Amino acid sequence: MTIRSLAGELGVSPMSLYRHVRDKDDLLDEVVDTLLGEVWRPRAREDAWRTWIAEAADELRGFLVSQPAALHVYLAHPVVSASALARMEAMMRVLREAGLSEVAARRAYGAIHTYTIGFAALEASRAREARAEHDADDLARQLAAYTTPQQFAKGLGYLLEGVSPSDRVGPDRGLRAAAGTTEPPR
Residue 47 has pLDDT above 90, yes or no: no
Name the CATH topology of 20-165.
Answer: Tetracycline Repressor; domain 2 (1.10.357)
Provide the whole-model pTM.
Answer: 0.73
Which pLDDT score is estimated for 169?
Answer: 45
List, in order, residues 6 or more apart from 102 with CB less than 8 Å away.
96
78 in helix, strand or coil?
coil
Chain center to CA of 122:
12
C-alpha torsion sign, points 133, 139, 143, 149: positive
Query: What is d(CA 30, CA 97) in angstroms, rounded to the nearest whole number?
Result: 29
Which pLDDT score is estimated for 185?
Answer: 46
Query: What is d(CA 116, CA 36) in angstroms, rounded to the nearest whole number?
Result: 14
Which pLDDT score is estimated for 139?
Answer: 67
List, in order, residues 6 or more apart from 115 with CB less than 8 Å away.
57, 155, 156, 159
Residue 173 has pLDDT above 90, yes or no: no
What confidence tier does 114 reach under pLDDT thresholds 50, 70, 90?
A: very high
Q: What is the pLDDT of residues 125-156, one digit of tens each?
A: 877 766 665 555 676 666 666 778 888 999 99
Overall average pLDDT of the 37-52 stretch: 83
Which pLDDT score is estimated for 34?
Answer: 83
Q: What percent of the chain has pLDDT over 70?
A: 80
Q: Which one is predicted more confidently, 76 or 82?
A: 76
Which pLDDT score is estimated for 16?
Answer: 83
